[in-house]
Structure 1
Amino acid sequence: MKTIFFPSHFGRDTLNSFFKQLEENLNAPEILVDCTTLNYSYPSGMLVAGSKMRKWIKHRRENGLITKKKGYDSDKKVHGYLRHLGFFDFIGMGEGNVVGEASGSMTYLPITKIEKPIIDLQVQDVKEWYDEIISQTRRFATLLSGTNEYTEENKLYHYALREIVRNVFEHSLADECYLCGQRWADGRVEVAVIDEGVGISASLKRSFEIESEIDALRKAIKPGVSSTTKIAEADNIYDNSGFGLYVLEQLVSSFGWFMLGSGSAKIVSQGKAMREQELNFDGTYIGLRLNSAPRQFSGILDDIISQGEHEAEVSGIKTTASGMSKFS
């Protein structure tokens, strides 16, 4: 019987070898998944690995293949943490809390499912759709900022989560997404959001010629680039302007790191450096790490959008950021 070991920790850059093992043994008759090797888990690595594993486990079950597990019930803090956050339920192992059972605290946001709001544009205004997303993400921002007060830090996390979630539902064709997060004692915060939709490359092909999946990611973080950039205005029902991911990459990479992945491609932006990597994932994931939060988020947001609108104009894209992208 083949054994697949968890990596030493679930992190931003630790999943490639683990994913290759999963892919190579997708149809092996009998597999033992050994969790004992895991020692630590970060939100981005955990959620991305979880989505990969849940599809892998589902495929094996549907095809009558045997998958056994070991070590998930150890006394290690990491396994207790994963059981509490809903990880083993999320991937289909059925251990610990179910997704959504843990309520979270001022130090962590457990794995949480957000469902796409239903809107009938015949009788409702799109603002009602946005209001529903705002309502859902505001609570999560409070957890991550560590305060109930609407501080600049609270505004930042609310803006980030709101823009990521609405980006998912406007472009991915997915009806749900998952997020989780962690706040450490020193103020560092990491957030991850995944969807299992069509992916960025397929989405952007509505408006652009896409050479590869890495090319799609490069385009996705440019100002004014969206799946709706070149479609009829009447079809752009959410008034999307293509500034959400651009703003987040510019902002977050200045205070920590920004990760975006879809299909076989992944980028990590930190400071002025950007790395391009490979990692096979069906859907899209975004990871954010902020080592510190800007004290004047609203002012920085205005500056980034102003610069982005100029860059878009220079590149021949005649658009300005939507009211929602400017709203902090």
Structure 2
Amino acid sequence: MSKTVHIESAAQFSSLLSSSRIVVVDFYADWCGPCKAIAPMYEQLSAQLSRPNIITFTKVNTDTQSQVAQSYGITAMPTFMIFKNGREVSKIRGARAQELSEAVKKLAAEADSDGTSGGFGEASTSGGPTWRGAELPRGYSDITDQVDIRGLDLLNSDSELGGVRALFDSAAPSSLGSGKGKGKAIGAESKSDWVESDVDEQLMLYIPFQSTLKVHTIQLTSLPPKSEDDDEIPMRPRTIQLYTNRAHNLGFEEADDIPSTQSITLASTDWDEKTGTAKVELRFVKFQNITSLVIFVVDGDGEGEKVRLDRVRIVGETGEKRDMGKLEKVGEDS
């Protein structure tokens, strides 16, 4: 019996990308001669190497699932794509059986050797997967890799600590598991891998994207120190306001004058104590065609004067690529 999964919807495909460590995809058409020629070999690989939640072989009919095919720029059949931890690692155009076999078997061997590395709650050892502090909602993927790192902007952050890019580091927070919130310094300037607000408890984070997204959930990780010896313990965010599709970051006064797309109040029980992560579930209908997000941390949960963030993860679905060449950063540097 064939173990190959025939994709019947974009949601089904997104779910597989988030639930299986390696996903092999055969984009084909019923009328395509080379597709039929290589199909038996593909099925043989599937029968030999398929393993639940580790290696999944799929087939996408480009005529009936044109949305999925267009999302990945498929213009010739057959085209084979291989994903590891939700990210593309190989793309093979044409019925090149040997190249396909070698690529799949190499990744299968890596899956055997690296065990659960790069999975939920763990740091990446291969550079591909992204650490997450919470499980993904069913049917959606971690799309943090769609963040345009060059255009990030963060207002009111302590310049002595980490910069805005630290929030999107693919590795686990260095403070995780220490219980003290004092992780290792990173980078050439030996700065921390988290950010804190500066003169008060507010932060204004601007996140542009490389694609038009459907954003379902935002995962925020905050790991303030637990030691009672610290005089100024930063707080976790409490009130958060979200603004969509802005051309640049907002000023704090400007944010007060503009209605937010959604306002969220986090309780202390919303934070997972093991990972320091809160899942901010959005009103999905309002976050369907998103090119940028502004996350405004209005205040923190506690009596402190500063707010801390360690990681931000974006969860949802990707859409069409944007032309990033015309983007310009406006506003202060973080």
> TM-score if structure 2 supplies the norm length?
0.30
Query: Whose strand fraction is larger, Structure 1's or Structure 2's?
Result: 2
User: Which structure would you say has the larger Rg?
Assistant: 2
Structure with bigger helix share is 1
